Amino acid sequence: MFKKILKFILLLAPWFLTSIVFNDYSYFDSINLPFFTIPKFLFSIIWPILYILITISVFKVSNSNYFNLKEYKKDLIYNYIFNQLYTIIFFYLKNNFLAFIDVLLTLLTALFLYYETKEINKKASIYLIFYIIFLIYALILSISIYFINL
């Protein structure tokens, strides 16, 4: 049981890397936001929940006996990289257009990850649905922020 908990924690921890290292979110307060922007405090609730759901999905896949995880691992790594880059691009580079492109790439890789996960373990793919839904919202929010702040 301890091994499973440790494995889960090791899979979860990297998702919080940029939010721990880069934690100055003042840029968000300085820009114009669309009317449908959720309150800032909700982001700090939603993202940890999404990271836990992603980790549950990855944990379930990692425990499966599927023989070819090459595509899955590639999609997971790409998604992780784009997910983590967002904080740097948006909050530190303050580049709204690149942030939009990054959200788009995060969504696309999440869709590929969902597909690969579903091929391996249908139950594990269910945990990614909320991530994809929130990324669609983030994409709409991101392009709106870009145009509002031109």
Res. 67 pLDDT band, cuts 50 70 90:
low
Helix axes 96-120, 40-62, angle to 10 degrees: 30
Residue 46, pLDDT > 70, answer yes
Tell me: the pLDDT tens digits for 82-100? Answer: 999 999 999 999 999 999 9
Instruction: Pick one of 1.10.8, 3.30.2010, 1.10.3470, 1.20.1260 as the CATH number of 2-148.
Output: 1.20.1260
Token look-up 């580049």 returns: 95
Whole-prediction pTM value?
Answer: 0.92
- Write down the domain spans for the chain: 2-148
Residue 149, pLDDT > 80, answer yes
CB 24 within 8 A of CB 112: no
pLDDT of residue 70: 86
What Cα–Cα distance (Å) separates residue 97 from each residue in 100, 102, 116? 5, 9, 29
| Integer Cα distance of 29 and 85 in angstroms | 20
pLDDT of residue 139: 98
| Integer Cα distance of 119 and 140 in angstroms | 28
